[in-house]
Amino acid sequence: MAVDMEAVKELRARTGAGMMDCKNALAECGSIEKAVDHLREKGLAKAAKKAGRAASQGLIFSYIHTNGKVGVLLELNCETDFVARTDEFQTLGKEICLQIAAANPSYITQEDVPQADIDREMEIYRNQALEEGKPEKMLDKIAEGKLKAFYGDSCLVEQNYIRDPKLKIKDLITEQIAKMGENIVVHRISRFSIGD
């Protein structure tokens, strides 16, 4: 099937994928919308493969809220200095800083939560369910559901993105990994607030 070059340009503008990838996706899928989905799926699969690669370059980002009472520092890592200097990477860093300022995560990932904190939360949730009169055999299941919500509130990458609650921060990062072709990792965060 012959592929219209205008459609290739539009697809490239929408996805950031390479010219040949766009041409092949259009030839395979037949429409721009299907090709967008195809490229996203392909990109997310590639992103999953890149997640294990070392990310030792990057930048330190900072944000001070307009009232001067909240500040954020973020170390966002990638694989090369070239990617660290791109507008997309810098925009991602600024967006993550805003997320940290607004949502105040305590941890970066679920793996960062100490086991003692998990055990304490699980015990609280079990006791709450017991107080509410829930059956004994359901306590662990209820507590696990509430723990998942705890991760969604407390862990940066599990939080809903403040600009689009349908996305989590990890989805935002994964999209950029797929687009830039490098692993991207939130390495360290600090949030400062007057009076805390």
Contacts 24+ apart (CB under 8 A), 40-46: 40/15, 40/178, 43/15, 43/17, 43/175, 43/178, 43/179, 44/174, 44/175, 44/178, 46/178, 46/181
Q: What are 79-99's pLDDT values in tens digits?
A: 888 999 999 999 999 999 999
Alpha-carbon span 192 to 184, nearest angstrom: 24
Is the overall model pTM greater than 0.85, yes or no? no
Q: What are 17-26's pLDDT values in tens digits?
A: 666 677 777 8
Give the type of residue at 138.
M
Alpha-carbon span 5 to 102, nearest angstrom: 43
Supply the pLDDT for residue 190: 94
Distances (CA, A) of 148 to 86, 96, 176: 34, 21, 25
Report the candidate in 191, 180, 185, 196 with the shortest Cα–Cα distance to residue 16: 180
Cα-to-chain-centroid distance, residue 115: 23
Q: What tokens does 139 get?
A: 């306590």
Q: Average pLDDT by consecutive 10-residue portion of the chain (196 residues)?
A: 73 66 79 76 55 74 93 94 93 96 94 92 89 84 90 94 93 88 91 88
